[in-house]
Amino acid sequence: MGKVDFTMSALALKLLGKNLYSNPWSAISELIANGIDAKAENVYLIFNHLENKKYDIYIIDDGIGMNEETISNYAKIGFQRRKEMPENADKVMGRKGIGKLAALFLSDKYDIITKMSDGPKLAYEFDFRLYDNQPDLTPSLSKKDNCVDNVIIREHISKSNSYTCIHVKSVDLSGYGEHAFNSLRSRLANLFSYENLKAKIHLKDYRKGEKTIKEDGSELIETIKKSVPFRNFMIIYKLGESFIPAEELKDLEQNKEVKVYAKDKNETHNRQIVEYHDNSLKIQYDNGENVTTKIEGWIAVHATIDSKKARENDDRFSKNTFYNPIQLRLYVRNKLGVENFLDIIGSTQTYANYIEGEIHFDYLDDNDKEDIATTSRQNFDENDIRIIELKKKLDTIITDLIKKRLDTVQKIEKQIEDEIKRHKIQARKEAISVFKQNIETVTKNIDKHANFSQIKDDITTRYVDLTTGILEKNDIDVKDTYKLFFSHKSESSSFSDFIYSILKARGMNDDEIFYTKVHSPVRLEKEIKANIMNNLSMCVYFFSKDFKNGSYSMLEAGAGWAVKGVEEIFVFTDTEENIPDALGFKENTYVVFNRMGRRFLQGVTTLLNVMIEHLNRGRRNNKMTEIQKFDVLPVDPKVKFEDYLSEMDIIIRDNFIHYKKEIIKYITSTKK
């Protein structure tokens, strides 16, 4: 016997197919790539849900199709199209001739239905179950007489002169739940470069042979599109031909600002788009051959990788268990060669996990060089000089990119530290101001004894200096959030609505006040805790007959009193009799609603200004625009009320007119 030929058994074929890929999505992408190699303009990926986790999967393309000769080539494991059909070698993504085994990774049974524009329809089937008891037999495709007996296939090939359909039967997708299917769109889009997505990939869904219909009655179909969150990038390097679509570049030009986060703070930053000109790569082989080639594409660093924060920059940002967009994708001949080249680079730098990019390097699959793609075609031989030099080049670029991000973040952190210092100084300044004000309040009712009058200013100065020194020496943080706490009863809410509406119209924000009519009562516990820990709240009470009789309102009054700041409490009431005797409420400044004349309006204006000054303390701490105070008009008995009202600020005047009838109606009803 002169020679012994190798043959491939059915078992060997199955083992090869089952070990080519790491997941169904990679196998499906290989079948889609075959359609694109066949010059398809449209590729349909159809999932027909049968039961439980079983699916029929269809990959149908409108490419050039196959005849009996090309079917024979298809059946040759290792048939190299680039060498056997050199006229299209540069455009073909496949090389090893084993991508056709992707169907065997998915299932033991599949059909091929195909037609060339000038040829007949052909149908073949492969069923590995036929070889279960005879695994040593040589496997073969079996021709089918009935070419198209499936409604899904008929619908998608009826309008094409040429096509190929791979119908993979009863695929088990256990372990791939809703989130995995949601991530499939992104993963499929990333399998091909922007350049190669000129061939449209359509994703469709069926249930037991029936189309999935949307609420509007239309068919559920989605064309796969790349969805890169470009707006979340802080710095982008363009390497030669970047392949970033023109519409994305235009959008970035129109939306230059991005929020960059540091120490849980964000700073608006102008995005940098840099032309990185040094994209050449020199490779020296052991045989002395020197080759200068180039890499193209883009590499960027994210402003943040926190999903919630990133979506504030770009709502396309999506990261979950099944899909992580933060990858350095390597494309060879417009098809994904390595899902994340960062794993090969092995960078441990700070912010290396913020890097995303798409690099094109077709020289890894040069027709005249050794094929270094692994058998699975999901990676490359890392010991090859091309991979070694590519790692060095990309590591240099990434290091430079990370340095720029680090410099920017350090500047932001310095700004944050400076702002914290300024904030502390301003907060202490406001606290001391309140402290001095309260010394005045405490001492104003003391008899002005001659000796006391002489030493009062000295005592005040000494206490203020002592307090300031303690705060600064011990770096004590004072409370810096100034808020209003409105306590009222719903039946008499016209009182509190009157004051609230004036403050809102003047510019108060809702986060500067706790008012149960606006903020649900369930927040009371949180508000008490916040006041104890962080806030300085000025308590404003709107007492009435119903208030005194309400258990919740009295609880709220007590809670407000317990967490009040050091400033005064202010009281609005329908009559003096309805101010509670407890907790010294009657000792505080108050305005009575049953005397709605000139002095009432003057009193309201005065108290509004005190509230505004309280809020402005917090605004000064946070460098916010201060709320403008109202002019307090003097009361002249000779001036008629109507004339006095006409001179009031329009905000107070309009709200007074609006709420007066409701207030009078309530007061009248409680007297009955």
End-to-end Cα separation, the chain, in angstroms? 123
DSSP 615-666: HHHHHHHTTPPPPPPPP-PPP-TTS-HHHHHHTS-HHHHHHHHHHHHHHHHH
Question: Quick one: pLDDT at residue 252?
Answer: 93
Question: Quick one: pLDDT at residue 39?
Answer: 87
Q: Exposed/middle/buried for 503, CB within 10 Å: 0-12, 13-18, 19+?
A: buried
Q: Which helix (H) or strand (E) holds 287?
A: none
Question: Quick one: pLDDT at residue 582?
Answer: 61
Question: Quick one: pLDDT at residue 603?
Answer: 85
Question: Quick one: pLDDT at residue 147?
Answer: 62
What does the domain layout of the chain look like in residue ranges? 10-223, 230-414, 421-471, 481-671
C-alpha torsion sign, points 139, 144, 147, 149? negative
Angle at 308 between CA 304 and CA 309, to 5 degrees: 40
**10-residue block means of pLDDT along the chain (672 residues)?**
60 67 81 86 92 91 91 71 48 50 85 92 86 74 76 89 93 75 74 70 89 80 86 94 89 92 80 91 88 93 91 87 80 83 85 91 81 62 87 92 87 78 70 63 52 54 56 58 82 86 92 77 59 71 74 61 58 74 60 77 88 89 89 87 89 90 78 59
Q: Provide CB contacts within 8 A for 450, sequence distance 6+.
A: none
Rounded-to-integer distance, Cα 70 and Cα 140, Å? 15
Question: Quick one: pLDDT at residue 25?
Answer: 80
Q: Which helix (H) or strand (E) holds 492?
A: none
Question: Quick one: pLDDT at residue 365?
Answer: 81
Within 10 angstroms of residue 538's Cβ, the number of other Cβ atoms is: 24
Six token digits for residue 499:
């004051």
Q: Provide CB contacts within 8 A for 298, sequence distance 6+.
A: 236, 237, 238, 239, 242, 243, 244, 357, 358
Q: Which helix (H) or strand (E) holds 39?
A: none
Q: Exposed/middle/buried for 629, CB within 10 Å: 0-12, 13-18, 19+?
A: middle
DSSP 501-513: HHHHHHT--GGGE
Question: Quick one: pLDDT at residue 114?
Answer: 92
Angle at 19 between CA 15 and CA 24, to 5 degrees: 120
Domain 10-223: CATH architecture, name and number where available = 2-Layer Sandwich (3.30)
Q: Which helix (H) or strand (E) holds 568?
A: none
Supply the pTM of this predicted model.
0.61
Of 538, 546, 556, 528, give the one whose Cα is nearest residue 499: 538
